[in-house]
Chain A
Amino acid sequence: MHFTLMLFEGTEDFAARKDPEKQQEYLAGWSHYVHALRDSGVVVTGFGLHAPETAATLQRNDGTIFVQDGPFTETKEQLGGLFVIDVPDLDTALEWAARAPVNAVEVRQNLPAM
């Protein structure tokens, strides 16, 4: 079964990506997790996302399109990356979610491909 791990990161995590002092530790945390995921053979696809302030959000209101800078919702934790994994069940997907170096992960099963 395919599950998507939506990995949420806080402002300080996004800041650490660019901070020369914290960058190395930040990246090391991710690279080991990604390595362990790939090594176990469960990864279907996965990638990180650029910081939320680089986002462009399109909203349609009464048929009129608005485009704004920044993410759709201004919450403290923002989507930082996604992994699609192939595991037998949700319990196993949650195990992988627990290993991610972040404080919040949303896990959902994927619909079958169209």
Chain B
Amino acid sequence: MDTYQTIENTVRDSYGRIISYLAVNWRDDEAVEDALADALVSALESWPKKGIPDKPEAWLLTVAKRRLMDRVRRERVSERAYMALLAMSEEAQHMESAAFPDERLKMLFLCSHPDIDPSMHTPLMLQVVLGIDAARIASAFMVKPSTMGQRLTRAKARIRSERLTFEMPDLAELPKRLDAVLEAIYAAYGSGWDDLAGDSRRRGLTDEAIYLGRLIAAHMPEEPEAHGLLALMLHCEARSKTRRDEAGAYTPLSEQNPSRWSAALMAEAENALHAAARLDRVGRFQLMAAIQSVHAQRARTGNTAWNEIALLYEGLSRMSPTLGVLVGRAAAVAEAYGAQEGLRLLEAIPSGTRGSYQPYWALAAHLHREMGHVEEARAAYRLAIGLCEDHAVRQFLQQRAMEI
């Protein structure tokens, strides 16, 4: 592994830990982020020449702290803050040899605090815990970068002004708060699994989402939904590379060659799902993961138990009847019990909600085509193609539409 790769890995692993550790005491996110950014630049200059230090994380922490102290001296902030910082730095001297406290979990909860706009939970996490810059987050969520920057700044200002704290929520609050954390991580992974068309615009952040998923499952082993979310993402990830063939053409799940799916990721996913099942509290992420697990079994058995998938969707649609779930359920029922049954469920979805939801029209087109409804199929294909954001999927649908 080369030095830069090591630096990158260390940064990914340590960034959030160091930021959150410093931020808990220092309370000025911007100063802390600036200080760590300086430390990273120093690392990039020094490590390739002098070699990677034994404890890269402690090295970064020491340099970042030194920068914060410099800043204090420069800005001559109150004596009290300076003293607090001194004390903290001494305390940290002792700690560097001991285990580094992992504050990232608290940071995840803070970033998805109910007082913060839910649409900002994921961007905040990505920036505060993983150090991803606003421009990359903006592209992943298709937002103007300067707008994303302003929204992040506003959300951080809110954390400060409302004096939101880094405490873990208490037990009564925990399920709801954990759900917000998991939801935000899932949003970072993207809509890949329930989106029939295989929207690919968020692919860039899937690694980061899985990283956070592993983190939260490792630190909250008693929470089945944390394992469920991890299993869900890993199953989807196992198939991510088979969604395009060698020529770059879109390949739907049913036509993918299961021998090309990642066995290692599927095994890790199954382990996570078993860990969840042992805790005996079902939840929507576990159900979504179970659906993907049934798909994964095709690698072993050669066929897909659509009736099981339909049943899991039935449970899921009672727990969380989102548009994606309702469309997925109609697709599964169509496979298990025929296009007519699927179409009946699809058409029962209120027309006000489905508007510009591309997967709805892609499924409607497919089912009408199966049933020989030429006019309806053509009309649905037009919308499915027109609403499509992915070039390969658009070509795939155009091909299908021409075959009618």
Residue ranges of A at the interface with B (Cβ–Cβ < 8 Å):
25, 28-29, 31-37, 39-40, 90-91, 94-95, 98-99, 101
Stretch at the interface among B29-37, B215-223, B387-395: B387-395
Chain B positions within 8 Å of A29 at CB level: 385, 394, 398
Q: Which residues of B contact A101 (CB under 8 A)?
A: 391, 394
Instruction: Decide yes or no whether B143 CB sits under 8 A from chain A.
Output: yes
Distance between B249 CB and nearest chain A CB, rounded to angstroms: 14
What is the CB-to-nearest-CB distance from A37 to chain B, in angstroms, rounded to a whole number?
7
CA distance A99 to B361 in the complex (A): 14
Find out whether the CB atom of A99 lies under 8 angstroms from the CB atom of B383.
Answer: no
CA A33 to CA B144, docked complex, whole Å: 22
B201 CB-CB contact with A under 8 Å = yes
- In the complex, which residue of chain A has the Cβ closest to the Cβ of B397? A32
Q: A25-B398, A40-B355, A101-B394 known; A91 and B143 CB under 8 Å?
A: yes
Take A25-B398, A28-B398 as given contacts and tell me if A98 and B386 are in contact as well, using a CB distance cutoff of 8 Å.
no
When C-beta atoms are compared, the residue in chain A nearest to B356 turns out to be: A40
B214 at the interface (CB under 8 A from A): no
List B residues 74-130 near A (Cβ within 8 Å): none
CA distance A37 to B387 in the complex (A): 8
Question: Which residues of chain A are near B142, meaning CB under 8 Å?
Answer: 91, 94-95, 98
Other-chain residue from A35, A90, A91, A94 in contact with B386 (beta carbon distance below 8 A): A35
Contact between chains at B389 and A99 (CB < 8 Å): yes
Chain A residues with Cβ below 8 Å from B144 are: 90, 94
Instruction: Find chain A residues with CB under 8 A from B201 CB.
Output: 98
Are B382 and A32 interface neighbours, CB within 8 A? yes
Contact B386 A32 (CB under 8 A): yes
Assess the B388–A99 pair: CB atoms within 8 A. Answer: yes
Residue pair A99, B387 in contact (C-beta under 8 Å): yes
A34 cross-chain contacts in B, Cβ below 8 A: 386
Give 23 A-B contacts (CB < 8 Å), ordered by A residue: A28-B398, A29-B398, A32-B381, A32-B386, A33-B386, A34-B386, A35-B382, A35-B386, A36-B383, A37-B386, A39-B386, A40-B355, A90-B143, A91-B143, A91-B147, A94-B143, A95-B356, A98-B201, A98-B389, A99-B386, A99-B389, A101-B391, A101-B394
Number of B residues contacting the other chain (C-beta, 8 Å)? Answer: 18
For B358, the closest partner residue in chain A by CB is A99
Write the chain A residue with the least CB distance to B388.
A99
Q: Which of A32, A39, A91, A94 contacts B385 (CB 8 A)?
A: A32
Closest to B141 in A: A91
A91 contacts across to B, CB distance below 8 A: 142-143, 147
Residue of A nearest to B143 (CB): A91
Chain A residue at smallest Cβ distance from B399: A25
User: In the complex, are the beta carbons of A39 and B143 less than 8 A apart?
Assistant: no
Looking at the assembled complex, report how far the CB atom of A41 sits from the nearest CB atom of chain B, in whole angstroms.
Answer: 9
Cα-based distance from A36 to B389 in the complex (angstroms): 12
Asked whether A90 lies within 8 Å of B147 as measured between CB atoms, the reply is yes
Residues on A with C-beta less than 8 A from B143 are 90-91, 94
Instruction: Fill in one digit per residue for B206-229: 1 if any A CB lies within 8 Å of its CB, else 0.
Output: 000000000000000000000000
Cβ distance B378 to chain A, nearest Cβ, rounded Å? 11
In the complex, A91→B143 CA distance in Å?
A: 6
Nearest-neighbour CB distance to chain B for A101, whole angstroms, equals 7
Bound Cα distance A25, B356 (Å): 23
Encode contact with A along B127-150: 1 for CB under 8 Å, 0 otherwise: 000000000000000111001000
What is the CB-to-nearest-CB distance from A106 to chain B, in angstroms, rounded to a whole number?
A: 12
Residues of chain A with a CB closer than 8 A to B389's CB: 98-99
Q: Which residues of A contact B383 (CB under 8 A)?
A: 32, 35-36, 39
**Apart from A25-B398, A101-B391, what 11 extra A-B contacts exist at CB < 8 Å?**
A29-B385, A33-B386, A34-B386, A36-B383, A36-B385, A39-B386, A90-B143, A94-B143, A94-B144, A95-B142, A99-B389
Contacts of A32 in B (CB 8 A): 381-383, 385-386
Those of B357-395 within 8 Å (CB) of chain A? 381-383, 385-389, 391, 394
| 8 nearest A-B residue pairs (beta carbon) | A36-B386, A32-B386, A32-B385, A98-B389, A33-B386, A36-B387, A94-B142, A32-B382
Q: Which A residues are in CB contact (< 8 Å) with B381?
A: 32
Expressed in whole angstroms, the minimum distance between the Cβ of B397 and any Cβ of chain A is 9
> Which of A32, A90, A98 is the most central at the interface, judged by chain B CB atoms within 10 Å of its CB?
A32
Q: Which B residues touch A95, using CB under 8 A?
A: 142, 356
Which residues of chain A have C-beta atoms less than 8 A from B147's C-beta?
90-91
Q: How far, in Å, is A95 (CB) from chain B's closest CB?
A: 7
CB nearest to A93 among chain B residues:
B144
CB of B387 to closest CB in A, whole Å: 5
Specify which chain B residues have a CB less than 8 angstroms from the CB of A36 in the assembled complex: 356, 382-383, 385-387
Set of chain A residues within 8 Å of B356, measured between Cβ atoms: 36, 40, 95
Q: A90 to B142, alpha carbons, bound, how many Å?
A: 10
Residue of B at shortest CB range from A101? B394
